[in-house]
Chains A and B, each alone.
Chain A
Amino acid sequence: MTDEAGDRIPLLRAAGLTVRMGDIEVLRDIDFSLRRGDILGIIGESGAGKSMIGRVIADQLPDGFSVTSGMLRFGALDLIGMPPKDHRRLLGREIAFIPQEPMMALNPSMTIGSHFEEHLAHLGHTPSTMRRKTIEALSDVRIAAPEHVYDQYPFQLSGGMCQRVLIALAFISNPDLVIADEPTASLDVTSQGHIIGLLRRMQQKHGTAVLFITHQLALAGQICTEVAVLYAGEVVERGATKAVFTAPQHPYTIALKAAAPLLDGEWTPLASLRGHMPGLKEYRTLDGCRFAPRCATASDACRQATVPLRQKSDHLARCLYDDAEARVEFPEGAARASLGQSKGELLRLDSVSKTFFRSGWFSRKPGVNALRNVSLEIAAGEFVGIVGESGSGKSTLGRLAMGLEDATNGTILLDGKPLGRSEDEWERRIAAIQLVFQDPRAALNPRRRVVDLATQAIQPRMMRADARRARAETLLRSTGLPTDMLDKVSAEMSGGQRQRVSIARALCNAPRLLIADEVTSGLDVSVQAQILNLLLNIRKEYGIALMMISHDLAVVRYLCSRVVVMWKGEIVETGLTEEVFRNPQHRYTRELISAIPPDDMNQPWLPLLEFAKAS
């Protein structure tokens, strides 16, 4: 499939590519090249400009953004200079896209079949061959009943199935280049494995080049031939995947690696990167290296002029120094929550069940069994992780413990006494238990200032304003926020700062148990490390217990001494975190663990092996 020349000339090449919005350089001096049949990973946190690269390739820059210099070539074609009409003709034929949110990327009022019919007609196929061709394409992506799926609507399929459909749609024109923008970001971990395996198989079968945009280092390590690490609109490091991952040279890449919690090996404290990635407006003030404010080694030379990509041992990095270090911090008294030492039972769930009813005209029919016979204890000061995929009932469990939902059966006991629904019981409950929500942007009232948000719990009390302010200050300090944030509102903060405020608010009344529902899943790796270390510090300071609800096993391993694995509303396995992860007993736990791409890129990853065997 690949000819001699195709092997040497890159299929896609960017050099000095710069995108501006007004006087802001959104992308600065982007260089990369992708050969036919290779996978290039574009790695970066949110706001780094990863998706902007895809937009340049598709000629779909938002209003006000334009390419001001540099070149972008697709084979012999100049993608920057070519007429928009010709550019558009490439899309869906030679260049295909696999989108981020599969459920959203299919038209809800069209059947799967009609999506294909439209696309095939666009590609010039005659109506008579369409159905057969579609069925073929659907079977190719391992959809079991393609004839059935053909007539279904997107909302009748799961996210993983929708992504299969979109992969089939992308490869049906046998494109030269596929751009996959975080194709598994919104999927469960077990579907992620299947989708990545499938993508890799299709890529190999068609000899396609893939631009793989992701924020997950381990994932990129498994499938990419080469990677480019993006930070604040610049490529800070690039080269062969192995070279970049085994010996990263740029302090950002090093810090990013050190900030990711690991699934196996010795427990080590995470080094969390200080501060946050600059926003677009801050680019103006950063003339030189954009990473300088977070770098411990940065000198005046770094700050004054742009730093070029330089050859370092076996790959390129945008750094003047050979041993630069990022400004990182470790949790105080580096210690994971000690292993399951109960200091007396705090919260106890006794065969709790929850059924959601569907209400009809005359009757209530049982709908979903969200929880079945769940029993669980949390001791004072204990960190317990609840893991499982979406629909496993883990969030329902948290909401029941908090009292946001009522259990259908079973009892919940606090300090050995059952919790009822009366006003007094509620007071007792919220004095001891607090919940931190997944999305801090939605959980914080956008019109209230931090000082009011953080001290919401003591608002009903008669209290002098300055006493309240003092309390807020203490809380901010405990959560690692500068006290000059007291008078800010939610819109003025970054995602990590918002989540800290949300945690500060939960701590206000010194609760004994914190329920954290996916509190880091919306955050970037480097910010996630800050929050995880914060939780460890809080444990030290307040002696608090934690119920950590998460789909991320590595996060749970980092924080929790004990883990509970949930599947379809039931607890399928529970025990000490280390033991469960090292020697999982239940089939589902094993599946869950093997679906995660291993931290060490040299380790084989099961989903890829399975696909290699199958093809």
Chain B
Amino acid sequence: MDAGKFLAGAGLRIATIAGQLLVVSIVIFVVLRLIPTDPLAMMIPANATRDEAESIRAAFGFNRPIYEQYLMWLGHALQGDLGNGIQAREPVTRLIKTALPLTLELAFLGLLTGVVLGALLGILTFRARGTRLERVGEAVASLAQSIPEFLWGIAFVLIFGLALSLLPFIGPMNSAYIVPRQTGFLIIDTLLAGRLDAFADHLKHMIMPVAALAMMKIAMVMRVLRSSLVEVYLDEYVNAARLRGVSETAILFRHALRNAAIPTVTLIGVQAAQTFGGTLLIEAIYSLPGLGNLMIVAIRTNDLPLIQGICLTYCAIVLLVNSLVDLSYFWLNPRLRRQ
């Protein structure tokens, strides 16, 4: 595939994402304006006169028709300004920027754990096909898959946090550690500051939330990879490779795995998008100041600009992840590359 075509494809993709974000922003805007709450109710002093209340409303633009409000918001948004939080009284972008890294880190680690462990277990149970180990693996996997993430989260807190006191479960890091913020990602900042003790403490705090987020993914990846390996092994080229004297290990890793990975990658794509939804409750359970907790606060206080901003951020992340998954197909499947 030549570079020009690739750039054209990438350009089209970015334009599509921009269009999708625009549509989503309209939906979010309209829906939020339609719910019967008064975002300013808490701001307006109880003894304010009707005129005073109206002037506060006017200051925020809430007295104009919805489409005007939207266009105003859009005009600002295109300049990178998502407005100020009504309660937080801080720019929405800054609030999101502070909270986002932790959520990304949590989701990434959860997904990574799920994929790596799931793939390992998938290969393991595949190699053990026909034995008791495979059936045990399958039974455990279907159990793991049927328990939702937040239940895992609570169970881990109860078992490893409270009963056994093995792991910390409040916040992202012991507050005794103070590390300068550079990237916003604690896992990187602690290393940049050369504080290995803080790094270790942060990891310790992340073990349970990451595990809770990963449980379902491990099970799913394992099952899908195993069954696509079974399917790929029925293909004639596997047998043909065997007849050329290729070893079973080489057949698995060189011939089968790459072809079997395609359905698994599709699954990971769907899972990646869902992971961000999953972080919301996990952050709440483990008191992690990420996007999820910010969202909960925003909803509780009817902070419309903040809710809007966070929704849009979630949306952008999901669209971006989907594009990355599509891109990985091109790498995996030469048939797509040549079209």
Contacts and interface: CB of A to CB of B under 8 A. Distances in A.
Interface of A: 58, 60, 88-93, 96-97, 99-101, 104-111, 118-119, 122, 153, 155-156, 166, 169
Given A118-B254, A153-B334, A156-B338, A104 B244 contact: no
B255 interface: yes
Given A93-B245, A99-B239, A104-B235, 20 more contacts: A58-B242, A88-B245, A88-B247, A89-B245, A91-B242, A92-B245, A92-B246, A97-B244, A99-B236, A105-B236, A105-B240, A107-B237, A107-B255, A108-B259, A108-B333, A109-B332, A109-B334, A155-B334, A166-B240, A169-B244
B241 A107 contact: yes
Task: Name the residue among A97, A105, A111 with the largest chain B CB count within 10 angstroms.
Answer: A105
Contact of B243 (A60, A118, A156): A60
A89 B333 CA distance: 31
Give me the 3 closest cross-chain CB pairs, A-B, nearest first.
A92-B245, A104-B236, A92-B244
6 contacts: A60-B242, A96-B244, A106-B240, A108-B333, A108-B335, A109-B258
Contacts of B250: 118
Given A99-B236, A109-B258, A92 B243 contact: yes
Interface in B211-248: 235-237, 239-247
B243 to A, nearest CB: 4
A99 B240 contact: yes
Contacts of A101: 236
Interface of B: 235-237, 239-247, 250, 254-255, 258-259, 332-335, 338
A90 B239 CA distance: 15
Nearest to B248: A88
Contact of B335 (A96, A119, A155): A155
A97 B237 CA distance: 12
Contacts of A99: 236, 239-240, 243
Contact of A58 (B243, B247, B258): B243
Nearest to A361: B12
B193 to A, nearest CB: 44
B240 A97 contact: yes
A155 B250 CA distance: 22
A329 B335 CA distance: 50
A91 B244 contact: yes
Contacts of A88: 245, 247
Contacts of B338: 153, 156
A151 B226 CA distance: 30
Contacts of B255: 107, 110
Contacts of B335: 108, 153, 155
B236 to A, nearest CB: 4
A105 B245 contact: no
Contacts of B332: 109
A340 to B, nearest CB: 44
Given A104-B235, A153-B338, A155-B335, A122 B246 contact: yes
A60 B239 contact: yes
Contacts of A96: 243-244
A425 to B, nearest CB: 38
A153 B334 CA distance: 7
Contacts of A109: 258-259, 332-334
Task: Name the residue among B237, B243, B334, B335 with the largest chain A CB count within 10 angstroms.
Answer: B243
A108 B245 CA distance: 19
Given A153-B334, A153-B335, A153-B338, A108 B237 contact: yes
Contacts of A93: 245
Contacts of B258: 109
A52 to B, nearest CB: 14
B147 to A, nearest CB: 35
Nearest to B240: A105
A156 B334 CA distance: 10
B77 to A, nearest CB: 28
A104 B338 CA distance: 19
A70 to B, nearest CB: 22
Contacts of B247: 88
Contacts of A111: 334
A106 B335 CA distance: 14
B334 A108 contact: yes
Contacts of A58: 242-243
B110 to A, nearest CB: 29
Nearest to A100: B236
A560 B334 CA distance: 45
A257 to B, nearest CB: 31
A156 B241 CA distance: 20
Task: Name the residue among B244, B255, B335 with the largest chain A CB count within 10 angstroms.
Answer: B244
A213 to B, nearest CB: 13
A169 B245 CA distance: 12
Nearest to A94: B245
A536 to B, nearest CB: 37
Contacts of A119: 244
Nearest to A87: B245
A64 to B, nearest CB: 12
A122 B235 contact: no
A247 to B, nearest CB: 36
A106 B237 contact: yes
B331 to A, nearest CB: 10
Nearest to A103: B236
B241 to A, nearest CB: 7
A483 B240 CA distance: 44
Contacts of A104: 235-237
Contacts of A106: 237, 240
A526 to B, nearest CB: 27
Nearest to A111: B334
Contacts of A118: 246, 250, 254
Contacts of B333: 108-109
Task: Name the residue among A96, A107, A108 with the largest chain B CB count within 10 angstroms.
Answer: A107
Contact of B237 (A91, A92, A105, A153): A105
A88 B241 CA distance: 12
Nearest to B262: A109
Nearest to B243: A97
Contacts of A107: 237, 241, 255, 259
Nearest to B236: A104
Nearest to B258: A109
A58 B244 CA distance: 10
B336 to A, nearest CB: 11
Task: Name the residue among B241, B247, B254 with the largest chain A CB count within 10 angstroms.
Answer: B241
A93 B250 CA distance: 17
A122 B254 CA distance: 13
A351 to B, nearest CB: 33
A277 B281 CA distance: 65
A106 B243 CA distance: 12
